[in-house]
Structure 1
Amino acid sequence: MALLIAGERSGVGKTTVTLALLAALQRWQLSVQSFKVGPDYIDPMFHQAVTGRPCRNLDPVLTSEAYIQQCFSNHSRKVDYALVEGVMGLFDGASGADDWASTAHIARLLNLPILLVLDCSRLSRSVAAVAHGYRSFDPQLQIAGLVLNRVGSERHLDLLKTALAPLNLPILGILHRHDAITIPDRHLGLVPTAELPELQHLIDQLASLGQQSFNWPHLLPLLTTASSPTPYPPPPIPHPPPPHPLRLAIAHDRAFSFYYPDNLDFLNQLGAELLFWSPLTDPDLPPGASGLYFGGGFPELFAAELSENWAAQQAVKAAILAGMPTYAECGGLMYLAESLIDFEGQNWKMVGVLPTTAVMGKRLTLGYRRALAQQDSPLMPIGTTVWGHEFHRSSLTLLPQPALYQIQGYDPASAVSQEGWCQYQLHASYVHLHWGGRPEIPARFLDYCARFAQTQP
């Protein structure tokens, strides 16, 4: 058992409620595992900063229902309590036409009770109609209780309680407007934890809010993992790990921080030694690396520092031109371009492996993508179909010919386009991938890395 935090829509305070609950549990030194519905990277960073444990994404589009059950069961069994943060409104799915990949979908799949967060800032008696509607819309779901957020006054709270009383839905949390804790945001969501110097102060505030705002005697039994189901077997490893660990250089700093913990776990399980390094500050690649992995992030905000670290750029370029297998997602792709033009129009020199320029703009490219491989790459053979997602405000001045992928949106009627680069032993794309249920992808990548290692002195 665990508890799923849902909202009646986006922006009602799910993340604040989730972080306050996690921070209070952590202050009491109780072990807790968190999960996040959907493909988001930044909310899970805050979960991990609070709990000290990697937050696991639960996304049936990027992975599968079976993988979600396996991931949730195996990770929640290691702790006393587990908490899942939902995505968007409770019933909002990937297509908008049904609730596939919604918070409700995950609640049914894992048989989890729901704590529903309501934004009460513009409601009084109508709050009962909202709560009743959400409870009755899908009889398979169990609404365990409500959190009343942004309550204006004690008089306001009395009106809300009076309206809700006939529903017999427990009010398990009350957050007042003056309780609001601000987490800075910008063009792609919250500011990542690594850029917040006052992060510990923020966590302390959240812990105090969590201790004071919730009905813990009622909540703790809902959060316990004592009755978790039998663990699922992990996805099969395609082949035995190599006799000697492969050393894989992972770009990880303020500019590159978007990695699914499961992806890194797969690489470890397949025998890779992960060497974290910083394209912002390190002058060279980690010694003995046989492959490169660049995740997404915010290279546009650190373009000056990336450009000034000429030594790192030259080391990366030399490695790729020598045939070192390389995987670059979104921000990683932008770093490997010839240059990056930031939001102020300044042009910064990048690695220069890809003959294109990344230009920041106002338009947000967002959504799930069905990607069909048009070429053999270090990650997949031609003809492979994968699901990923895009989330960026940049575009490229030149597109590859031929492209790595033929991509299409989640709607089968959406337009088909070409995207991604494949040259040398480089797989570079705006499409983010989660390897859950597809361990053959990291296995193939490490096979390429092993072959490259054999060619080196």
Structure 2
Amino acid sequence: MSTAASPGGLVIAGERSGVGKTTVTLALLAALAQKSPRVQSFKVGPDYIDPMFHQQATGRPCYNLDPILTSETYVQQCFAHRCQGADFALVEGVMGLFDGASGLSDVASTAHIARLLNLPVLLVVDCSRLSRSVLAIIHGYRTLDPRVKLAGVVLNRVGSDRHLELLTDAIAGINLSILGVLRRQTAIALPDRHLGLVPTAELPQLPDILTRLAHLGHTSFDWPALTPLLLADPTPPLSHPPYPLPLSHPPTPPPSHSPTPRIAIAQDPAFSFYYPDNLDILTALGAEIIPWSPLRDAQPPADADGLYFGGGFPEMFAAELAANQELRLTLNALIHQGLPVYAECGGLMYLATTLVDLNDNAWPMVGVLPTSVRMTGRLTLGYRHALAEQDSLLLQTGQTIWGHEFHRSEAETPSPSPLYQLKRYGATQRHATEGWGSHRIHASYLHLHWGGCPEVAQALVGACLQYRQGRA
């Protein structure tokens, strides 16, 4: 593992999940954004929803740092490239500081990313049921891996002045700075549901929440000590985009026809899970991205050469999606006529015949996949190593990629010709088959970060270009 020269910035870590690191991160970002329009944030791991809140706070896309879905080199290059021109850089961690993908090592943990980027760590500690024992927790995190440099701690959920005095006295003996103190409070609450936080598009009260978070940020941290840690390097080394493009030459279009394929991206509250890198890669490959809404639009964008349905919460909007019958019928016809379509998780659910929601109501969907999908009480979660079982729109038999599953629905009818064989991260045997694939469809529960498999994005652009040429 190589260690990059740091372009500057700070990692926010928790001593475990649920200690308030997202609140701390958003308070810092909201306060910084009132000082500068050039605050660049990042999120460790395959999360979609936390980065939405980052973007609302800063006005800039938040980029995921995931060495399993991409690579260690990609993480370093992505961070350096996105920090160019930024005044401040901040990375929100995942789970506890040393919690890795397998539970047996710290691979893909916050500590792993901090080492890769050579960044200091600000540790958030939930002090609600602690006094002197806080010293043992902080001491353990500080000494477990000397390569991870703790810049200080944030004491969260402090109950009173006396409680703060006990905590401060306990920490005084280890010469580590207390860089923030947040009192117990319920005035700022981010609502959640079955897959985590409610996405930003469903929170009309979000501007008010961000205003209160900015005030919390301004009043709860030691800014003279924090600001130098948050500064991005004003002169980072020249960094090109981390994805290696072009990979190969796409099909040559006829001279009289535009070489730019138009890819319609479903973007609304039902479909909102997209890595910014994926959209950037499509653009870098020459595609024109056209946002649209399956909730609101009666037709897909005119002259679309391909469809991209990301994940999201179609189960929360099943009635509205079902009511848009004109669109469902149009999509069914277009896809059967050969329009390329890439669908992840929520997108797969939308392409099914029926979606059975959390209240056991069945709603008709697009109907190009011969299965119903049903919400369940079981969470399917984790990294998957996928082996392509067949040639399809984007993959060739035997090709392998890394993806991530995170859903509470399941297909009621197994695919008769599965797209993938799956293996859990750290496992030795493949445990399941999954997905639907054909010359025009790629539909899977796997979320892919194309920074780790840009050839998949290129195959999609190539398929859309061929479709465009065929229509010409």
TM-score (norm 2): 0.95
Taking the aligned partners of 1:284 and 1:56, their CA distance within structure 2 comes to 31
* Counterpart mapping for 1:298-447 below 5 A: 298-413=313-428, 415-447=430-462
State the superposition RMSD in angstroms. Answer: 1.3
Taking the aligned partners of 1:53 and 1:314, their CA distance within structure 2 comes to 36
- CA, structure 1 residues 209+400, in 2 after alignment: closer, same or farther (shift >3 Å)? same
Cα distance, 1:197 vs. partner?
A: 0.7
Say which of 113, 118, 127 aligns to 1:111: 118
Taking the aligned partners of 1:343 and 1:437, their CA distance within structure 2 comes to 34
Alignment correspondent of 1:26: 33
Taking the aligned partners of 1:331 and 1:168, their CA distance within structure 2 comes to 49
**Does the CA contact (< 8 Å) of 2:69 and 2:452 recur in 1?**
no
The answer on 1:236 being equivalent to 2:251 is no
Residue type of the alignment partner of 1:239: S
Taking the aligned partners of 1:410 and 1:260, their CA distance within structure 2 comes to 21
* Counterpart mapping for 1:93-108 below 5 A: 93-108=100-115
Residue type of the alignment partner of 2:443: A
Cα distance, 1:250 vs. partner?
A: 0.5
Taking the aligned partners of 2:320 and 2:47, their CA distance within structure 1 comes to 26
Deviation by residue 1:204-258 (Cα, 9 ceiling, x = unmatched): 0100000000011111100111266413433232136776211101011010000
Alignment correspondent of 1:81: 88
Taking the aligned partners of 1:248 and 1:134, their CA distance within structure 2 comes to 46
Alignment correspondent of 2:154: 147
**Does the CA contact (< 8 Å) of 1:320 and 1:424 recur in 2?**
no
- CA, structure 1 residues 107+364, in 2 after alignment: closer, same or farther (shift >3 Å)? same
Taking the aligned partners of 1:381 and 1:415, their CA distance within structure 2 comes to 18
Cα distance, 1:439 vs. partner?
A: 1.7
Larger CA deviation: 173-182 vs 283-292:
173-182
User: What secondary structure, in the 3-state scheme, does the structure 1 residue paired with 2:418 have?
Assistant: coil
Residue type of the alignment partner of 1:14: K
Taking the aligned partners of 1:105 and 1:85, their CA distance within structure 2 comes to 13
Cα distance, 1:180 vs. partner?
A: 5.3
Cα distance, 1:190 vs. partner?
A: 0.1
Taking the aligned partners of 2:218 and 2:294, their CA distance within structure 1 comes to 40
Q: Report how many residues are paired.
A: 457
Identity %: 61
Cα distance, 1:265 vs. partner?
A: 0.2
Taking the aligned partners of 1:371 and 1:438, their CA distance within structure 2 comes to 12
Larger CA deviation: 215-224 vs 174-183:
174-183
Alignment correspondent of 2:264: 249
**Does the CA contact (< 8 Å) of 2:298 and 2:324 recur in 1?**
yes
User: What secondary structure, in the 3-state scheme, does the structure 1 residue paired with 2:122 have?
Assistant: strand
Alignment correspondent of 1:184: 191
Taking the aligned partners of 1:78 and 1:398, their CA distance within structure 2 comes to 50
User: What secondary structure, in the 3-state scheme, does the structure 1 residue paired with 2:164 have?
Assistant: helix
Alignment correspondent of 2:302: 287
Residue type of the alignment partner of 1:206: L
Taking the aligned partners of 2:148 and 2:232, their CA distance within structure 1 comes to 19
TM-score (norm 1): 0.98
